[in-house]
């Protein structure tokens, strides 16, 4: 895959197979959302168009779906940020940093309409070599509907043990 293809596909296309099963962003999880996150300048962006089954109230998106989008958008953003900090961009051979969610906070500012493209835009607020704080805004038709703050942490070698 070349650099242009990498930019079209997002960081999740590069997660190794054993890390590609996340319900939100794992490309190998057939039932999942397949979120894809990439740089747009100094911001990170993930887009997704919810369908009718992602409903909370007729016409509006379920908050849990919004939280999922901001969650995977943020862990993907953290991986991209650590990778760039190490001097790499998608398309290079160096292994990607693996990040999991330590903390996820969402503020729901306005009802989010169903059936339109949602755009999550993230900024890296704080970072060291094993922790990244990502602040994001979620827009629908140009309206700011939610804000998220995620602390993403490098996945420990002994994760889950």
The binding site for ligand MYA (CB under 6 A) comprises 15-16, 19, 22, 24-25, 71-72, 75, 79, 96, 98-103, 128, 130-131, 151, 153, 155-156, 159
- Calculate the CA 68 to chain-centre distance: 8
- Residue 70 CB, nearest approach to ligand MYA (Å): 10
- Residue 159 CB, nearest approach to ligand MYA (Å): 6
Nearer to ligand MYA by C-beta: 146 or 152?
152
* Tokens matching residue 56: 């909370």
- Residue 28 CB, nearest approach to ligand MYA (Å): 11
Nearer to ligand MYA by C-beta: 39 or 114?
39
C-alpha to C-alpha distances, 155 to 51, 101, 110, 159, nearest whole angstrom: 32, 9, 33, 6
- Residue 58 CB, nearest approach to ligand MYA (Å): 29
C-alpha to C-alpha distances, 160 to 26, 63, 131, nearest whole angstrom: 18, 27, 18
Backbone angles phi, psi at 75, to 5 degrees: -70, -35
């Amino acid at each position: 895959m070349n650099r242009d293809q990498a930019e079209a596909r997002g960081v999740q296309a590069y997660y190794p197979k054993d890390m590609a099963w996340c319900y939100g962003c794992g490309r190998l999880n057939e039932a999942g959302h397949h979120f894809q996150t990439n740089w747009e300048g100094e911001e990170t962006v993930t887009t997704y168009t919810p369908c009718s089954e992602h409903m909370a109230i007729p016409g509006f998106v379920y908050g849990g779906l919004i939280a999922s989008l901001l969650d995977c958008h943020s862990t993907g953003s953290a991986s991209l940020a650590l990778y760039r900090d190490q001097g790499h961009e998608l398309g290079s051979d160096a292994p990607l940093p693996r990040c999991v969610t330590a903390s996820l906070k969402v503020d729901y500012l306005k009802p989010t309409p169903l059936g339109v493209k949602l755009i999550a835009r993230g900024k890296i607020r704080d970072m060291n070599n094993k922790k990244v704080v990502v602040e994001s805004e979620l827009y629908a038709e140009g309206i700011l509907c939610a804000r998220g703050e995620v602390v993403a942490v490098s996945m420990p070698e002994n994760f889950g043990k």
